[in-house]
A and B are shown apart, each in its own frame.
Chain A
Amino acid sequence: MRYFSPLIAALLMLLSGLLIFTVLGKNPGIAFHAFFIEPINDFYGLGELIIKASPLMLIGVGLAIGFKANIWNIGAEGQLAMGAVFGGGIAIYFNESTSVFILPAMFAGGIIGGMFWASIPAFLKTRFNANEILVSLMLNYVAILILSLLVHGPWKDPHGYGFPQSVLFSESALLPVLIEGTRLHAGVIISFAAIGVGWIFLLKSFIGYQLQVSGLAINAAAYAGFNYKKMIWIGLLAGGLTSGIAGVSEIAGPIGQLLPSVSPGYGFAAIIVAYVGRLHPGGIFLSSLLMALLYLGGESGQMNLDLPSAVTGVFQGMLLFYLLAADFLINFRIRLKSNPSLKGINS
């Protein structure tokens, strides 16, 4: 039953979508086609879908590890940016080199950057008991501003006519394209691998077990001797690690350089992806594809239906709303009667 709520939510979203299309005066069938089918009608489209889903599933898996244990990493967007900064810095510094080690070094940099940024809320929470939701949230903006500062200043392309962008990365700093005629890059493989690794980690390893128990019953976990501080570090660093990798995948993949903005909100969208995927790697894989389809559908809607670009956000928000509502139906039974324990107190 647990796995039905995402499907119910998706269904409700589709139905609402048809309603919205009708209200806007578009033929629902054609609109539906343009929004959901058209983007993935051909090989290139499928490739685009996977490229868009790739960072979402990667970050989503990392976040899910923390979410399972009630550790709320809202800072994925910033951790992605820091991963891009560290990895991009290597690419820029070694722009002349053609060494085969550049790409691995970039990814290592990305991991360090993302994990470093996630370690701040981890440290502040374990040492000072500071709420990780708020700290990681604030750090998002700090990270994005740092990226902006670098791209506007010291890392600006000297031959770029003053525009805020870094030099274009050299061939050895770019991810190779996997299939001709698409933009599928090797970063996608990493994302798929992350799903597999995440599955093993969460569902088959002892630490995964500890994380789950800590999330469900923290007192029981403490009684069993699970170290919650360790959980906090693991939960946050996992998100930082995957976000950092995602950051490097973006700049070494479709973008090819450092820009003031390297992510259209993947860090936040991944939170929704993790949730809709029920914090299960398999579910996350599917929900990332759905979210990616919503992004692409929004663009296709603009192109073919003259729908405004804002339509995507509406759909994504609705999807999560419906999911959260559907969860309720799964987890609880509705009983309509008054609370017996109140009788007699208020008189």
Chain B
Amino acid sequence: MKQNRLLKTVLFISVMAFIVTGFIPLSFAKDKLKVGFVYVSPIGDAGWTYQHDLGRIDLEKNLGDRVSTKFIESVPEGAEAERVIRDLAKSGHDLIFTTSFGYMNPTLKVAKLFPNTTFEHSTGYKQAKNVGTYMCRFYEGRYLTGIVAGKMTKSNQLGYVAAFPIPEVIRGINAFTLGAKSVNPAIQVKVIWVNSWFDPGKEREASEALIDQGVDVLTHHTDSTAPTMTAEEKGVYSIGYHSDMSKYGSNAHLTATTHVWDAYYTKVAQEVLDGAWKSTAVWGGIKDGMIKLAPINKKVPADVVALVEATTKSIADGSFHPFSGPVKKQDGTLVVAAGKQLTDDDLLGMNYYVEGVLGSMPK
């Protein structure tokens, strides 16, 4: 049948084409340091990943043609990540940054197969000979923003839209509360858990619920700009996270705790280039330039700004620790005595609310 013959010919030609193009090699240049980045969400999330990408861009700028970078975005945590990380390692990337907690096990697995590749895993807690971890003391920034919130609130109700009840998030809530209480003992913090790092719809609904219940300063530990936008719409204040979110709410946005990975990424890449890299667990804060507050809104009075700046300095030079005693849990028990501070280990495993936070933690 003619139709059959025609089909068979077309098929043959296409299969041939398929095979022929298979011999076009993809070439790689091996003189630069190739740096790979694995992102858990799209760059445009204006949050967590966006800040990492700024770091990447800064790295390219600083080291010029000694490096070339590549990123893969929206890589789900879990089994998929392993393949992506491995592909980066296999295609000649000698330094790979995996930027989400859920990449921990995949990173370690791939690192075993590629002992000559350097891996840096952010917010993780397991290291290996060629795997280092790095984290930010976000809570330092939270404390400072708490000061601003405590001073600017009129209803004394502060709101927190949070993702998952992991120690990192809880540290942030507690630091924020402590900072606010230090200038305004009457405040209370209400927390709503949205069980997602990034879901603008839910974040907006949670923000609305908080505002409806009397909150007039809102902050969040989620990835989108929805809380800021909702605050702007409803005429209350908001404090951003990850990045400066003022363009999403110029009236509402007081300040934000921003992550600055620029210097760190450049430093690590330089170490790898020089052959001086060692696996460490880095936990940097304001003094390392990893945390910065976004420009403070003009509405905030000058004395508050001055207090924030002074506290920033004292955190940076080590004379003040956000979790210095006395710190009490919700039920009143003393966790940190006056004159003492929480150790890093205590901080890492934090699983309780401090006084001033309303409600109980989800199990």
Contacts and interface: CB of A to CB of B under 8 A. Distances in A.
A and B touch in the complex (CB under 8 A): yes
A14 to B, nearest CB: 7
Contact of A44 (B88, B90, B102): B90
Interface in A283-299: 296, 299
A172 B242 CA distance: 41
Contact of A153 (B21, B348, B363): B363
A257 B166 CA distance: 18
B10 interface: yes
A321 B164 CA distance: 39
A33 B83 contact: no
Interface stretch (B74-82, B179-187, B262-270, B300-308): B74-82
A304 interface: yes
A14 B14 contact: yes
B95 to A, nearest CB: 16
Nearest to B90: A44
A-side interface mostly:
helix
A162 B14 CA distance: 52
Contact of A259 (B18, B77, B84, B195): B77
B105 interface: yes
B101 interface: yes
A162 B351 contact: yes
Given A11-B11, A152-B195, A264-B80, A161 B86 contact: no
Interface residues of A, number: 44
A76 to B, nearest CB: 18
B26 A254 contact: no
Contacts of A165: 102
B348 A304 contact: no
A254 B82 contact: yes
A163 interface: yes
A163 B167 CA distance: 9
Contact of B105 (A32, A37, A256, A264): A256
B80 A309 contact: no
Contacts of B10: 11
Contacts of B90: 44
A163 B166 contact: yes
19 contacts: A1-B4, A11-B11, A29-B24, A30-B24, A30-B26, A37-B21, A154-B363, A162-B164, A162-B165, A163-B164, A163-B166, A164-B164, A168-B105, A255-B78, A299-B72, A302-B73, A303-B70, A303-B87, A304-B26
Interface of A: 1, 4, 7-8, 11, 14, 29-30, 32-34, 36-38, 44, 48, 148, 152-154, 161-165, 168, 183, 250, 253-257, 259, 261-262, 264, 296, 299-300, 302-304, 309
